[in-house]
Amino acid sequence: MSGAGAALVIFLVYLGFDPLPVIVLTGIGLLLYSGGTRSMQKTARIVRKNQKNKYIPSVNFDEIGGQYRAKNELKEALDFLLQREKIARYGIRPVKGILLTGPPGTGKTLMAKASAHYTDAIFVSASGSEFVEMYVGVGAKRIRSLFQEARSLARKHKKNRAIVFIDEIDVIGGKRDGSQQREYDQTLNQLLTEMDGISVDQEVQVLVIAATNRKDMLDPALLRPGRFDRHIHVDLPDKKARLHILQLHTKNKTLHSDISLMKIAEETFGFSGAQLESLANEAAIYALRENKPEIEQKHLASAIDKVLMGEKADREASSEEKKRVAVHEMGHALISEYVRPGSVSEITLTPRGQALGYVRQLPDRDRVLYTREDLENSIRVCLAGAAAEEYFYGHKSTGAQNDYKQAYHYARTMIEAGLSDLGIISPDLVGREELQLEAKKILEKCYDDILQCMGHFSFMFEESLGILLKEEVLSGDKFREMLMKSHSKTDKIYEVN
């Protein structure tokens, strides 16, 4: 190339032309060509990197709040992918499948993606519903294609491992009952065959991760060792985990200095990770609506109510109906505060979802074990709204219908846990009528206790109803302050029998 250029310059000089313009133009052309080539090479590298990132998620375990036990257990299983030679020396066979179980919104899908990032493995995912078709054999074919895609992508990107994630596996992995559901059976059989044949391909090791919130529905053939070797339960986060999740989801948001995320974590007992993310997002939306530069405590409180109860309803209650709702909710709040001091977070008359009003309560602590007294107190809080209506008006309304369902649930829990007068029983061997009679006895006893106790709280109805009706929202701290002032003016309240 350089020799041809020199010959051209000499030829131009021989003909009497000035070669300088040609030399300059040639140099500019070469610069443009080399620059374009480098740009194309850079673009190609970016495309290859993006294609790689497309199949290897960027989510890591540090970005998943809480779930410390589940994450550690999952990492231990994933280390078998990373340390193939070491586990071979110990004679350990590779883990073929990991089953993630737990309530919706607890982060099972995120943990599967983080697993691919942790192991630097190709990630291919599908939902169980994608394999269900009316034509026999289509689901089985899609299972085969899914595993073939995982292996081919791993080879293409020069990886020796891949993760196949199947969400809602209970759709295709349900128990086989001998009926004529041939499509479901063939799809499940193909999945079982693929999992059995995973170890055949020594070049690419495939790990299957599946998620479900209905483990009891799965076929035993899936759950046996050699298929899904590890069963990891991803539970609802405790208070410490909820605080961590809230910190992660508010990291990119401007919070007012008065906000205590620990207090929010305490108030959100029973929230899943997805609900906590929604809470942080809704609080930011409330701040945007009011054009506030920072998210304030009231925005987070409203977001909790929305996640729990739904958006505010448009319907307007009459003054008499509103007063009855106030009496009902005041009954809940009084008994809740009485049986468990400091439990009331907020009393509101704002309609949300199907509720005309509600009392948001604080759990005393994250717990899974309850005594008979704990369950009876929960029943008393549920029935307190109806008792307040009967005490104040002399009769009840339909507003306590959902309260009765919750109270009955607690009563059945007492019976089935052996905490009732029936003693230790098998609910399947006891007649439905006998169970109903025992539950009715428990509910009536608790209701009579609350009705008797309600008379000792008459001073609070007189002093606080007007404030609640006027402001429509009463914080727990203000309610307790009013309760203490009222106590100082009255005799000691008698204990619930």
Residue-by-residue DSSP string for 348-389: E---BTTBS-EEEE--SS--S---HHHHHHHHHHHHHHHHHH
pLDDT score of 416: 92
Q: In the chain, pLDDT over 70 holds for what percent of residues?
A: 81
Is 459 part of any domain? Answer: yes
The string of DSSP letters for 112-177 reads HHHHHHHHT-EEEEEEGGGG--SSTTHHHHHHHHHHHHHHHHHHHTT-SEEEEEEESGGGTSBPP-
pLDDT score of 197: 66
- Give residue-wise pLDDT tens across range 447-480: 999 988 887 777 777 777 888 888 888 888 888 8
CATH assignment at residue 261: 1.10.8.60
Q: Which amino acid is at 44?
A: A
Residue 227 DSSP label: T
Check if the beta carbon of residue 219 is closer than 8 Å to that of residue 175.
Answer: yes
Query: Is it the case that residue 305 has pLDDT exceeding 90?
Result: no
- 406 and 462 co-located in one domain: yes
Check if the beta carbon of residue 474 is closer than 8 Å to that of residue 460.
Answer: no
Which of 108-112, 301-305, 470-474 has the lowest average pLDDT? 470-474
Tell me how far apart the alpha carbons of residues 303 and 241 are, in angstroms, rounded to a whole number: 19
Check if the beta carbon of residue 461 is closer than 8 Å to that of residue 327.
Answer: yes
The string of DSSP letters for 12-72 reads HHHHT---HHHHHHHHHHHHHHHHHHHHHHHHHHHHHHHHHHHHS----GGGS-S-HHHHH
- 170 and 227 co-located in one domain: yes
- 285 and 180 co-located in one domain: no
410 vs 187, higher pLDDT = 410
- 48 and 66 co-located in one domain: no
- 349 and 297 co-located in one domain: no
Query: Is it the case that residue 410 has pLDDT exceeding 90?
Result: yes
- 324 and 453 co-located in one domain: yes
pLDDT score of 376: 94
- 337 and 476 co-located in one domain: yes
The string of DSSP letters for 243-281 reads HHHHHHHTTTS-B-TT--HHHHHHHTTT--HHHHHHHHH
Tell me how far apart the alpha carbons of residues 305 and 274 are, in angstroms, rounded to a whole number: 15
Q: pLDDT band at 429, cuts 50/70/90?
A: confident
Domain span at residue 408 reads 319-488
Catalytic residue among 266, 282, 296, 329: 329
CATH assignment at residue 178: 3.40.50.300
Query: Is it the case that residue 267 has pLDDT exceeding 70?
Result: yes
Q: pLDDT band at 129, cuts 50/70/90?
A: confident
Cα-Cα-Cα-Cα dihedral of 90, 95, 101, 105, to 10°? 110
- Give residue-wise pLDDT tens across range 272-302: 999 999 999 999 999 999 999 999 988 998 8
Query: Is it the case that residue 496 has pLDDT exceeding 50?
Result: no
Check if the beta carbon of residue 96 is closer than 8 Å to that of residue 195.
Answer: yes
Which tokens in the block code for residue 224? Answer: 């046996």
Span 292-318, average pLDDT: 83
Which tokens in the block code for residue 349? Answer: 């008359």
Which of 122-131, 326-335, 479-488 has the lowest average pLDDT? 479-488
- Give residue-wise pLDDT tens across range 384-401: 999 999 988 888 888 888
Is 89 part of any domain? Answer: yes
Query: Is it the case that residue 50 has pLDDT exceeding 50?
Result: no
pLDDT score of 47: 37
pLDDT score of 55: 77
Is 257 part of any domain? Answer: yes
SS3 425: coil
Q: pLDDT band at 39, cuts 50/70/90?
A: very low
- Give residue-wise pLDDT tens across range 348-357: 888 877 778 8
Query: Is it the case that residue 45 has pLDDT exceeding 70?
Result: no
Domain boundary among 199, 215, 233: 233
Q: Among this protein's residues, is 376 annotated catalytic? A: no
Which tokens in the block code for residue 115? Answer: 């697993």
Is 495 part of any domain? Answer: no
Query: Is it the case that residue 177 has pLDDT exceeding 70?
Result: no
- 419 and 440 co-located in one domain: yes
Average pLDDT of the residues of the chain: 81
Span 472-490, average pLDDT: 76
- 271 and 345 co-located in one domain: no
Let me know the angle formed at the C-alpha of 321 by 315 and 323, rounded to the nearest 5 degrees: 120
Tell me how far apart the alpha carbons of residues 293 and 299 are, in angstroms, rounded to a whole number: 12
Is 493 part of any domain? Answer: no
Q: What are phi and psi of 205, to 5 degrees?
A: -95, 125
Which tokens in the block code for residue 216? Answer: 């009891």
- 25 and 101 co-located in one domain: no
Tell me how far apart the alpha carbons of residues 236 and 193 are, in angstroms, rounded to a whole number: 33
Domain total of the chain? 4
Is 494 part of any domain? Answer: no
- 346 and 288 co-located in one domain: no
Query: Who contacts 408 (Cβ-Cβ below 8 Å, separation ≥6)?
Result: 439, 443
Cα-Cα-Cα-Cα dihedral of 190, 192, 193, 194, to 10°? 90
Q: Which of 380, 393, 340 is nearest to 364 (CA)?
A: 340
Which tokens in the block code for residue 254? Answer: 């401007």
Is 287 part of any domain? Answer: yes
- 23 and 155 co-located in one domain: no
Check if the beta carbon of residue 323 is closer than 8 Å to that of residue 469.
Answer: yes
Check if the beta carbon of residue 286 is closer than 8 Å to that of residue 302.
Answer: yes
Span 3-19, average pLDDT: 58
Domain boundary among 22, 39, 55: 55
Q: In the chain, pLDDT over 90 holds for what percent of residues?
A: 26
Domain boundary among 213, 233, 253: 233
* Rama region for 294: left / alpha / beta (φ>0; ψ in -120 to 50; rest): beta
Is 496 part of any domain? Answer: no
